[in-house]
Structure 1
Amino acid sequence: MRSLSPSPLQELDDERARRAGVRLLLKRDDLLHPPVSGSKWRKLQPNLERARPTGLLLTFGGAYSSHLRAAAAAGREAGLRTVGIVRGDELRGRELNPVLTQAAADGMELEFISRSAWRSRMEPEALAVWRDRYGPAWVVPEGGSNADGVRGCVSLGEELRDIGAGLVVCSVGTGGLLAGLAAGLGPDQRALGFAALAHADLAEETRALQREAFGGVRGHWTVDAEAAVFGGYGRRAPEVDAFRGDFEGRHGVVLDPTYEAKLLCALFARLQAGGVAHGTTVVAVVAG
């Protein structure tokens, strides 16, 4: 399966970073494997291999889940059958939005479940129902964040070991990317994850994923639980939209509004406030 590995680094010529005394680079993981791209590709690769014995990968996501879209595309390319369990049974029978339309076009079978059923989706009884209905499957949680997905993201940190970066920042939705990234960085590097949502303890979820993947917590990392939430997951804040448009105009990079636009908006605010030491090389992961 094709991929552009390692993903490219793009140095930003931005006076805001210069004023802060910081060298700023983007890790363009969004270019890693179009249309899967980024952390989704790193998380899905090992899970696709796990699914080969049965030929079926079953996973979960919301109505606008980029993970479902990515899993469908990756599964099609790998010659695997994919099933997506979608949160929100009120969507059943309605016209599909563009994300789910693309997932279906790539062959994903979609099933819509109630929000109450969603809460127990990974319980053994629920998984048994899915397997009875669709057949033996390799099950991947939403976001691709399981032990295999975490180990797949270690390569991201390893690709950044030798570039002199003291700080690597990323957006955190489920903790899988941060868990693997931090484990792959060098001993003198640290990772900072900016939470994209406020209704989960993402630091604890990241620790739990590292324990599952590696048997213990690895790397130097922290989670900023507040700076990049901007009203909640999936919500659009005027200041973030303005930042996103300005950033595209300056650097020609279109940022995902749910994750990377909030991440970089919060990062530049931190730089302006003197929250990063002068002379630091910072890498921001654009996960796609």
Structure 2
Amino acid sequence: MPIYSENQFIFQNSNGVSLYIKREDLLHPVVSGNKFRKLKYNILEAKSLDCTTIITFGGAYSNHIVAVAYAGKKAGLKTIGIIRGDEIEKDVELNPTLKNAKLFGMELVFVSRSHYKNKHESEYVDELKAKYGSFYLVPEGGTNHFGVKGCEEILEPTDTLFDYIACSVGTGGTISGLINSLKEHQKVLGFPALKGAFIKEDIRKFAKNNQWDLISDYHFGGYAKINSDLVRFINTFKSDFNIPLDPVYTGKMMYGLFDKIEKNHFPDGSKILAIHTGGLQGIEGMNLKLEKQKLPKLI
């Protein structure tokens, strides 16, 4: 049976442009949002292949790492996380994301940033096989055929009334799944959390139509970059609508949507559905960074 999320009304402006948000963040307290979708079929595939171990990749505050750790534990699978940045190892107990991943039973392996870049190379995978034996590999962010398949289940039949579907973009799996489940009159707008146009090619590997576009003006300097304006927006949004946004993905997407609506980017009467992809576990870690930078904290 498909799992559906609640759509929450946000506002309608004087031109009749209405904005709703799909609360995928409420799917699960740990494996929330797009991580729930991406891991669903990957976990089933690992079990069907009789694999007992999952290996995956991620950074210090990765939503994906903690989600794999929890989902793997519940599925009875050993999990190993290859973590970008060997300098992080000494501060694991101060990092809420990695600390939780360890609590869920994940073995953390810290590698240098230069070594981490080899994660797509077959030689590197062979090294992992020689060290750990047989395992099921889940790519960084969970984006593969099975991850996209899970994200194709985000939209439900009643969502056909929307003209635009908006989502944040990291590794491209979520937006690809949304694109593949569109009706002919709909379009997906992706808000990349990273700088650079390379993500378009990653999306094209999975997307089955051209009903999509990327709006790349709201990454705030790059992945996990943030400033006081974004913090203020996220905090105001939570106060106004009682919906928390994460600062890496959904906060930037919603900031961009509000700005585009204010600048009359959308035709009068447009109906927009924004996908809340979760990631709220990262707020605690981001507040530690904001404190060091002497910036306001996320509430």
Change (3 A) 1:238 1:160: farther
How far does residue 205 in structure 1 lie from its aligned partner after superposition? 1.3
Q: Distance in 1 between matches of 2:116 and 2:235?
A: 35
State the identity %: 39
Q: Distance in 1 between matches of 2:5 and 2:87?
A: 39
- Check conservation: 2:17, 2:269, Cα contact below 8 A: yes
**Stretches of 4+ moved more than 2 A in 1?**
92-96, 160-163
Deviations 1:132-183 (A, max 9, x none): 22221111111101111111111113x1564400000000011110001110
Q: Which residue of 2 aligns with 1:51?
A: 46
Q: Which residue of 2 aligns with 1:134?
A: 132
Q: Distance in 2 between matches of 1:229 and 1:95?
A: 27
Asked whether 1:249 is paired with 2:239, we answer yes
- Check conservation: 2:92, 2:98, Cα contact below 8 A: no
Q: Which residue of 2 aligns with 1:181?
A: 178
How far does residue 25 in structure 1 lie from its aligned partner after superposition? 0.8
Q: Distance in 2 between matches of 1:250 and 1:58?
A: 40
Asked whether 1:34 is paired with 2:29, we answer yes
For 1:200-215, what aligned pairs fall within 5 Å after superposition?
Answer: 200-210=197-207
Give secondary structure in 1 for the equivalent of 2:147.
Answer: helix
Q: Distance in 2 between matches of 1:38 and 1:175?
A: 14
Change (3 A) 1:283 1:162: closer
Q: Distance in 1 between matches of 2:66 and 2:209?
A: 30
Q: Which residue of 2 aligns with 1:213?
A: none
> What TM-score do you get using the length of structure 1 for normalisation?
0.91
For 1:67-146, what aligned pairs fall within 5 Å after superposition?
Answer: 67-96=64-93, 97-146=95-144
Q: Distance in 1 between matches of 2:167 and 2:196?
A: 18
Q: Distance in 2 between matches of 1:174 and 1:257?
A: 17
Q: Which residue of 2 aligns with 1:223?
A: 214
- Check conservation: 1:4, 1:33, Cα contact below 8 A: no
Q: Tell me the amino acid that sits aligned with residue 121 of structure 1.
A: K
Change (3 A) 1:264 1:160: farther
Aligned length: 275
How far does residue 129 in structure 1 lie from its aligned partner after superposition? 1.3
How far does residue 19 in structure 1 lie from its aligned partner after superposition? 2.9
Change (3 A) 1:198 1:162: closer
Deviations 1:73-99 (A, max 9, x none): 111111111110000011233333100
Q: Which residue of 1 aligns with 2:274?
A: 284
Q: Distance in 2 between matches of 1:109 and 1:199?
A: 32
Deviations 1:236-284 (A, max 9, x none): 1221111111101100011001111110011100000000111111000
Q: Tell me the amino acid that sits aligned with residue 56 of structure 1.
A: T
Give secondary structure in 1 for the equivalent of 2:161.
Answer: coil
How far does residue 209 in structure 1 lie from its aligned partner after superposition? 3.2
How far does residue 41 in structure 1 lie from its aligned partner after superposition? 0.7
Q: Tell me the amino acid that sits aligned with residue 156 of structure 1.
A: I
